[in-house]
Amino acid sequence: MSQVYVATGFLMHEPTRQILLHLRDSKAPQNPDRWAFFGGRAEPEDAGDPLQTWVREMAEELGIAIERSTACEVRRYVMPNGLLRVVFCYPWPDRRMDFVLGEGAGFAWFDLAAALALPNLTDPTREDLDYLARTPLFA
């Protein structure tokens, strides 16, 4: 039996070092009305591949196609609830692109400090951003 996991991540506009975060809506079963990365749990069609899960979720949540070869896995760990969390980053060329929001209440670009200052950031997202702040990705 394969491990249960959540695949999550963010778009990064490299020239400005900003990341795109997702505002979950009030009806979300977990973390309603909170800022988070885009993503979700594995589904059978993902065949146990966290990257495939994230690619699917990005299409569902933002209406975009992610090229697998360009996505970068930045972190993988088991959360306290026993769920494997895999975090991806994807370079995005233009912050002005019109995304098609398929799930949630909204999205916005943030620099790392502004994202970490959000009072309604999910705990796992805050932990991941704290971790990422110490990596070359945000140096």
Q: Is the pLDDT of residue 104 over 50?
A: yes
Q: Tell me how far the alpha carbon of residue 118 is from its chain's centroid.
A: 16
Average pLDDT over residues 61-83: 95
**Greater model confidence, 139 or 22:** 22
| Sequence-separated (6 or more) residues with CB below 8 Å from residue 93 | 13
pLDDT-based confidence at residue 86 (cuts at 50, 70, 90): very high
Average pLDDT over residues 29-53: 94
- Rounded Cα gap, residues 47 and 61, in angstroms: 20
- Give alpha helix (H) positions in 43-110: 50-62
DSSP bridge partners of 9: 38, 88
Determine the pLDDT at residue 2.
59
Determine the pLDDT at residue 68.
95
65-72 long-range contacts, CB within 8 A, separation 24+: 66/90, 71/9
Domains of the chain: 5-138 (3.90.79.10)
Residue 34 Cα distances to 44, 69, 104, 117, 118, angstroms: 27, 30, 10, 13, 9
* Averaged pLDDT of the chain: 93
Average pLDDT over residues 14-36: 93
pLDDT-based confidence at residue 113 (cuts at 50, 70, 90): very high
What are the pLDDT digits (tens) for 47-70? 999 999 999 999 999 999 999 999
Determine the pLDDT at residue 1.
39
Count of CA atoms in the C-beta half-sphere (13 A) of 76:
8
Tokens 């970490």 locate to: 116
